[in-house]
A and B are shown apart, each in its own frame.
Chain A
């Protein structure tokens, strides 16, 4: 199939070249402009309510998360219409991981692992903190589950991270958490 495309392009060029000895102008003016592709994160809009990515970028406590989202190519997805619930570990939460973990995940060859971990922090549907119920199981974007527990009015995830703040965004909601959620090991 690829072969035929090339053949087709050849014929086109051939036919245009055939006109060049007549006075008709053709190919040289038709060079198409190359347009840089950006996702919705590149839309210039200072008026609308901020989406999840913009909210995270504006938070000084989430620089590690934002860097990781960029490295994992998740910025475009999280600038999408959503609706998302994002559990957003703070810088301090990442710092609690064993030394070198974050640096290791940021290496290009670990991109898939990083994507897996970050997608384990995202679920579809905008879930308010008060809507969670004890024992609720959330299906996360990476395909694994997170279990919710409610203790003393606080929402905990996998018994390892607690929601410490909730910030609405235009395309969902961010729940700031104090620990990093680690997906179960691959079977």
Chain B
């Protein structure tokens, strides 16, 4: 009682102190004004306005938050195994992480792009990049499940990716590291970068009926580092813009050697023309090796196919396809405003933000207003492409998003702030500090033709003292700003998973109502499905034992299994035969070195188990599914190799012999 009393008093005192501190003038301390809490408050039981998809950085996954509350709604595993739901552990999902290098359990996920129709977010899919071993994934937004992962040959460090065209015709992926092409002898001295290295841009086609991705073609470009990109839209429809750094073509100490030139480039690509050239049979077939992994929602099983050919066009052979535009100081972000007229290049070492005009670029091309060539590609004169410069925006500009009122918002890494400026007159309108050192920022629809104007989230790289300390590593902070007024207002801090890079958000109504509640058991065509308890069974095939198991509240069928022998490989094919929303079951067996399972209603997943000793081995449901969850368990009997215990299985009938029950 005393303790409670003291705590209550302590809290009250704290509240009092906090109350007073909020009376300080603005821009002192945390710069939060009094109505921030109400602006981000979503009452218990109420929904957020937006789904916010946030890249997981070095976690390899994608997280989904609600805005404005900052509630974590889900972590969707993509490029890393995920113990929470068996991604990469179950036999059915392992092929999703297959590559030409074999199974890769962990990658680095940087950028996300929601599918669009006519430049507006349509809520069908979200695309994600693997930065390290170059891949692009497609996540289905009806199931929030990764549906496809496609590896990219001729690439290394898939950073300028995945950015889509206006109607999701293509997902574009530019390589960060230029490398010798996959079909060349790559065993060359590293300092032969200029002679032997190439930069590749992949154009991935998207089947509009089912989302399936394929590499339509690749553009072989001069060896530089492609950093980020965005599609043209509206007036610049059919074009794509890439930021390029290391135009010095350094291969060592890039920190110094890739920062020498006063200007690097924005690369403008006429992708419609490229697509037509490919259609006309241009380009050469190149022998490569890459994995195409697709998840089938009916079999609940992924298939990995190794493909061996891509069509490549060397851009210098096709005049008119590609132009370079000088852009100061190692540009990072490459962002296109909602009308498509203005292209913003954020030179991370520049003291200004150049804004290029698509109209002027076209006129410069027509007038051949070139200052020369770079590796055979025309370089447009800076002033001929430039609309204007944002002067003194802050230090270290990185990324720009747009609102619905003609404003742009740019993160400043070094000066740790978000700067709002007018696209029309390039005047700085407002600036607000972030805590600390923001990387990407995101406005719902902020890179589409139809941005919103209510919220902005800055994803910060440095946390330090913003949250209670948790040892040397702290969760990266996201900061939510209200941008509906003239002044940006910080309304919420919240922690994120991994390291967020780019993010996307869309009105909840676009996605909410089509969300799948469970998988229909009658549609399940997994070869090892058991659609009901009568078909549950155990089948021996040589030294492989297949257990066709069902799970329903609150028992597993079969739950007594005998006849397994040392030397066997046992496959538990567990079908969750529930047809009820949010009732997954789990499966774990003692000593399984392969992990566990989490099985959605209507789904079949498989755990491989190689017993390493004879004895009685319990198994159980790991997801608290019901009041009798603790009863949802069973036993497997493992006999020595060569034992003659026959395969047998049962549920509820293998009662103890009556004479074995002790008398009362």
Contacts and interface: CB of A to CB of B under 8 A. Distances in A.
On whether the two chains bind one another, the answer is: yes
A35 B318 CA distance: 63
B15 A8 contact: yes
Contacts of B554: 82-83, 125-126
A143 to B, nearest CB: 16
B16, B625, B626, B631 — most chain A CB neighbours (10 Å):
B626
Interface in A1-56: 1, 4-5, 7-8, 11-12, 14-16, 18-19, 22, 24-26, 29-30, 32-35, 37, 43, 45, 47-49, 51
Contact of A5 (B8, B33, B45, B553): B8
Contact of A131 (B18, B580, B652): B652
A170 interface: yes
B44 A124 contact: no
B144 interface: no
Interface in B15-32: 15-16, 18-20, 22-23
A81 interface: yes
A172 interface: yes
B626 A83 contact: yes
Contacts of A131: 652
Interface string B355-370: 0000000000000000
Given A4-B9, A22-B23, A83-B627, A15 B16 contact: yes
A30 B38 CA distance: 5
B190 interface: no
Contact of A15 (B19, B43, B652): B19
A21 B583 CA distance: 53
B74 interface: no
B293 to A, nearest CB: 29
A114 B37 CA distance: 45
Interface string B620-636: 00000111100100000
B5 interface: yes
B578 interface: yes
A63 B583 CA distance: 29
Contacts of A43: 581
B579 interface: yes
Given A19-B23, A24-B23, A35-B45, A8 B580 contact: no
Contacts of B45: 35, 37
A12 B13 CA distance: 9
B193 interface: no
B188 interface: no
Interface in B552-583: 552-554, 578-581, 583
A47 B46 contact: no
Interface in A47-82: 47-49, 51, 80-82
A25 B628 contact: no
Given A4-B8, A16-B34, A172 B517 contact: no
A125 B8 contact: no
Interface in B40-55: 41, 43-46
Contact of B15 (A5, A12, A22, A35): A12
Nearest to B15: A12
Given A4-B9, A7-B8, A35-B43, A25 B34 contact: yes
A171 interface: yes
A170 B580 contact: yes
Contact of A32 (B12, B41, B578, B626): B41
Contacts of B46: 33, 35
A173 B16 CA distance: 55
Contacts of B18: 15
Contacts of A125: 554, 628, 631
Nearest to B23: A19
B273 to A, nearest CB: 47
A43 B4 CA distance: 37
Contacts of A170: 578-580, 583
B518 interface: yes
B187 interface: no
A171 B580 contact: yes
Contact of B583 (A5, A7, A81): A81
Contacts of A24: 22-23, 33-35
B6 to A, nearest CB: 10
A116 B23 CA distance: 57
A30, A83, A126, A172 — most chain B CB neighbours (10 Å):
A83
B429 interface: no
B641 interface: no
A124 B257 CA distance: 72
Interface of A is mostly: loop
Given A30-B38, A47-B517, A81 B625 contact: yes
Contacts of A12: 12, 15-16, 19
Contacts of A14: 16, 19
Nearest to A10: B12
Nearest to A25: B35
A82 to B, nearest CB: 6
B33 A33 contact: no
A11 B580 contact: no
B22 A81 contact: no
A47 B12 contact: no
B1 interface: yes
B275 interface: no
B11 interface: yes
Contacts of A25: 33-35
Interface in A140-173: 170-172
A70 to B, nearest CB: 22
Contacts of A82: 553-554, 626-627
Contacts of B12: 4, 7-8, 11-12
A119 to B, nearest CB: 14
Interface in B370-423: none
Nearest to A31: B38
B15 A15 contact: yes
Contact of B38 (A7, A29, A81, A172): A29
A21 to B, nearest CB: 9
Contacts of B9: 4
A1 B4 contact: yes
A82 B581 CA distance: 14
Contacts of B552: 126
Contact of B628 (A29, A33, A124): A124
A32 B34 contact: no
A124 B580 CA distance: 19
B553 to A, nearest CB: 4
Contacts of A22: 23
A47 B626 contact: no
27 contacts: A1-B4, A1-B8, A4-B4, A4-B8, A7-B12, A11-B16, A14-B19, A15-B18, A15-B20, A18-B23, A19-B19, A19-B22, A22-B23, A24-B33, A25-B34, A25-B35, A26-B22, A30-B41, A35-B44, A45-B517, A48-B517, A49-B579, A81-B625, A82-B626, A125-B631, A170-B580, A170-B583
Interface of A: 1, 4-5, 7-8, 11-12, 14-16, 18-19, 22, 24-26, 29-30, 32-35, 37, 43, 45, 47-49, 51, 80-83, 124-126, 131, 170-172
Given A80-B627, A82-B553, A171-B580, 13 more contacts: A4-B12, A12-B12, A12-B16, A22-B23, A24-B34, A29-B35, A49-B579, A51-B580, A81-B627, A82-B626, A83-B626, A170-B579, A171-B626
Q: Across chains A and B, which 4 residue pairs bring their CB atoms closest together, nearest first?
A: A15-B19, A33-B43, A26-B34, A4-B8
